[in-house]
Amino acid sequence: MTPTTATALRDQEVVICGAGPTGLTLSILLSRFGIHHLVIDRRETMSGVPRARGINHRTGEIWQLLGLGHALRSATLPPEWLERMVYQETLAGPLIGTVETPGNLPGASSHLTPSDTYCISQDRTDALLAGRAATYREASFRFGTEFVGARQRTDGVDITVRTGAGEEHIRAAWLIGCDGTGSDVRAAAKIPQVRLATLDSFVNAHFVADLRRWTQNRPAGRRELLALSDQFRSRPRCPGQLDRGKGDGSNPEDDRSDRRRNALGRAPLLLSV
């Protein structure tokens, strides 16, 4: 899907704000019910940033129902890459520990669910969803179209968007906010966030490089590089919530935390557990 699939703004049955995984999944579902709709996104085109890589069973079940099962199985990492996570000081440096993750292997949960978990970067899953969403005549797409406000009517909603041509207006029966954590649609609907708005802060650096020299003999679905500079020692961090739960088995996170703790405990790391 590209911005060239643009459609004229006009009266719409449903407007979906946001062409991320939520908005695109909803688009496919609406199309399958024969409901015409417009998807808008302020980006000029789909995001190419990898972001989410772990696709859980429930998401897999839904996407499989939408006909994406074969594509997901083709795109996920091969089994030998799925069965463990590794912790290293640096990409080329010594191994700190591994956590076996057999539950990620194909068929591991086949007694519970028809879907596996998958390890696929989000730029690829977003493209899969976008490709499928664009096959339905019920769906139209407008990129470079930013939601800026909405006014409730008795029979629907007046939506204001900003495009390269300035502000434009759409009348719709329904407006659905799929515009991510900082949702402008939610703000316009005056729906407050009931939990902490910011849980933590991260800096992500996305680069493309051939790293096989360091990774091909140490396959892993997830690779944590634990920086050991003094700065990090003074504020020790490790993957997962190691201090979560009472350790009495009442918290399903405990088991994972124990496995991580065991893996990491072998390393000369200053950990606050």
Ligand X SMILES: Cc1cc2nc3c(=O)[nH]c(=O)nc-3n(C[C@H](O)[C@H](O)[C@H](O)COP(=O)(O)OP(=O)(O)OC[C@H]3O[C@@H](n4cnc5c(N)ncnc54)[C@H](O)[C@@H]3O)c2cc1C
CA-CA-CA-CA torsion sign (171, 175, 181, 187): positive
| 41: Cβ contacts below 8 Å, ≥ 6 apart | 17, 18, 19, 23, 141, 142, 143, 144, 145
Name which of 138 and 146 has its Cβ closer to ligand X: 146
94 vs 207, beta carbon nearer ligand X: 207
> What x-and-dash track marks residues 194-213 binding ligand X by CB under 6 A?
----------x---------
Q: Quick one: which of 22, 113, 163, 215 contacts ligand X (CB under 6 A)? A: 22
Residues 41 and 133: their CA atoms lie apart, in Å, by: 14
For ligand X, the closer CB: 56 or 273: 56
Q: Specify the length of the chain in residues.
A: 273
Q: Using CB under 6 A, pick the residue from 3, 106, 144, 180 that binds ligand X.
A: 180
Three-state DSSP class for residue 149: strand
Say which residue the tokens 């096959």 belong to: 135
* 146 touches ligand X (CB under 6 A): yes
Burial class for 168, CB neighbours closer than 10 Å (0-12, 13-18, 19+): middle
Rounded alpha-carbon distances, angstroms, from residue 24 to 41, 132, 139, 235, 252: 11, 9, 10, 39, 31
Distance CA 191, CA 150 (A): 13
Q: Which of 1, 40, 71, 267 binds ligand X (CB under 6 A)?
A: 40
Q: Which member of 20, 60, 156, 221 binds ligand X (CB under 6 A)?
A: 20
Position 18 contacts ligand X (CB under 6 A): yes
184 binds ligand X (CB under 6 A): yes
Task: Tell me: does residue 226 bind ligand X (CB under 6 A).
Answer: no
Stretch that binds ligand X, among 60-68, 76-84, 179-187, 258-266 (CB under 6 A): 179-187
Which of 1, 9, 16, 19 binds ligand X (CB under 6 A)? It is 19
Stretch that binds ligand X, among 44-52, 68-76, 128-136, 240-248 (CB under 6 A): 44-52
Question: Should residue 36 be labelled a site residue for ligand X when binding is judged by CB under 6 A?
Answer: no
Is 124 an interacting residue with respect to ligand X (CB under 6 A)? no
Residues contacting 49, CB < 8 A, separation 6+: 122, 123, 204, 206
Contact with ligand X (CB under 6 A) among 48, 54, 103, 247: 54
In whole angstroms, what is the distance from residue 59 CA to residue 24 CA? 13
| Residue 76 is a binding residue for ligand X (CB under 6 A) | no
Would you call 3 exposed, middle or buried from its count of C-beta atoms within 10 A (0-12, 13-18, 19+)?
middle
Closest contact distance (angstroms) between CB of 26 and ligand X is 9
DSSP letter at 181 equals: T
Interface residues with ligand X (CB under 6 A) are 17-23, 40-43, 47, 51-54, 122, 146-147, 178-180, 184, 204
